[in-house]
Amino acid sequence: MSLILQTFLPQVARCLPDSTCNHEPVLKRSPRIPAQLDREVAFYDLLFGKFTISVSRLAQMFTNKSSQVFLGLGLILLFVADPSGVRDTLGTGMAFLLWIGAIGFYIAMLFVMVTLLSFTQSALGRFPIYAPVTSSLIILIVFFSMQTLIETLAPPDPSQSWYALFFNITSAGLAIETLFIRFVMPGIFSNPAPSKQTPDRLLKLGDQQLPLADVIYMAAQEHHVQIALPTGTITVRGRLGDAIAQTIPDQGIKPHRSWWVSARAQPMLIQQNGKSALRLIDGTIVPVAKTRQADIQQWLDRHQVTTHAPAAE
C-alpha cells in the first residue's frame, strides 16, 4: 500500500494547482477545473468537529508519510480484526491482498466524492456535510464490490448476514477515519512542505529578481507591474500573469484580474461602498471581483485569516 501511494499519488500531487508540474499537459484543461481542485469542501466529523478538504489537499495528504504510516497501521488492524471474516473464507494471503484492494478502492472513491461535493457546494453554496454519511456511502460501494469478488472466489457462507458484515466494517472504518481526522490530519496541514515556504524562492520579472516571501501585493498597470515590498513599492515592466504563475496558492490569492495579494499582507474582507474589498496590513484597499468572492472567502477560511472587519470609511 505504501509503495502504491509513493508511486502514484506524488505524480497526481505534482500536477495539481498546489505544486509545480514539470511535464507538459497532453490536453488543455478548462480554467474552471483547477479552481475546483482547490475548492475547499466543508465537513463535520463523527463528533461534529468542523474541517475542510479539497481534492488537491487530499492528494497531498495521502503522499504524506504520516498518512502512509497510519494507513499501514489501519490495514494491519483491519486484517487482524477481520470484521468481514474474509480471512477464514479465502485464507491469509488472499485476505491481505483483498484488504489492500479495498483500501485503495476506498481512497479512489474518496477522491470522486470530494470532487462531486466540490462542484455541488460551488453551485448551491458552502454547507457542512456530515462526513460519516458520505463515508458510509463509500464503504457501502466498496463493501458490495468486494463481497461480489469474494463470492466469485469462494462459495458464500449462508450463515453470514450481509447486514451484520456491513455494520462491522462500517463501524471499524468510521472509527479509523475519526482517529485520522482528529489526530493525524491536523499535523499534516499545520506543517506545510518546506519547499513551499522556502525564503529563497525568487520572483523573476523584467530585470528584477525578488524574494517572493517579501512581496505584499502586486498590481497590474498597463504593461508594468507594481510590486509592494516592506521597503517600498517598485514598478517593473512585465505582465501580472507571468508573476502570479511563479506563486503557489498558499502564498496568496488573486481577488481581481489586476491584483494579487500575499498571505503576509494579512488581508481582511471588508465592505466599502456596498462592495467587497480586502484591507491589507499596510492599509491598502484592494477590490474584490464579484465572481471571486466565494474563492476569496474560502482562501481566507483555509488560512485562518480574519474574514470580516468594519466597513471602510
234 shares a domain with 148: no
pLDDT of residue 218: 95
Query: Residues near 43 by Cβ (< 8 Å), separated by ≥ 6?
Result: 50, 51, 52, 53, 128, 129, 130, 131, 134
Query: Residue 287: inside a domain, yes or no?
Result: yes
Grid coordinates belonging to 89: 473464507
Residue 212: which CATH number?
A: 2.40.50.1020
55 shares a domain with 142: yes
Query: Residue 312: inside a domain, yes or no?
Result: no
216 shares a domain with 159: no
83 shares a domain with 150: yes
171 shares a domain with 232: no
Q: How far apart are CA 245 and CA 232, in angstroms?
A: 23
Query: Residue 86: inside a domain, yes or no?
Result: yes
Residue finishing a domain among 158, 191, 224: 191
Q: In Å, how far from its chain's centre is CA 233?
A: 34
Q: CA angle, 124 as apex, 121 and 128 as ends, to 5°?
A: 45
289 shares a domain with 201: yes
201 shares a domain with 185: no
C-alpha torsion 133→134→140→143, nearest 10: -120
Q: How far apart are CA 103 and CA 16, in angstroms?
A: 23
304: left (phi over 0), alpha (psi -120 to 50) or beta: left
Residue finishing a domain among 191, 214, 240: 191
Determine which helix (DSSP H) or strand (DSSP E) holds 41, and give its type and residue range: strand 41-44
200 shares a domain with 183: no
DSSP at 25: -
Residue with cell string 466469485:
152
Query: Residue 308: inside a domain, yes or no?
Result: no
| Domain tally, the chain | 2
pLDDT of residue 36: 63
pLDDT of residue 227: 94
Query: Residue 310: inside a domain, yes or no?
Result: no
pLDDT of residue 126: 66
Contact 38, 114 (CB under 8 A): no
Task: Report mean pLDDT in 10-residue bins for the chain, 313 residues.
Answer: 45 41 36 60 86 84 90 91 83 91 95 90 78 95 91 77 87 92 79 46 87 92 91 90 89 93 89 88 89 85 55 44
Q: In Å, how far from its chain's centre is CA 126?
A: 15
Residue finishing a domain among 191, 214, 247: 191
272 shares a domain with 128: no
For the full predicted model, state whether its pTM sits above 0.75. Answer: no
pLDDT of residue 11: 44
Q: Residue 209 belongs to what domain range?
A: 196-302
Q: Which of 279, 272, 277 is nearest to 287 (CA)?
A: 277
177 shares a domain with 232: no
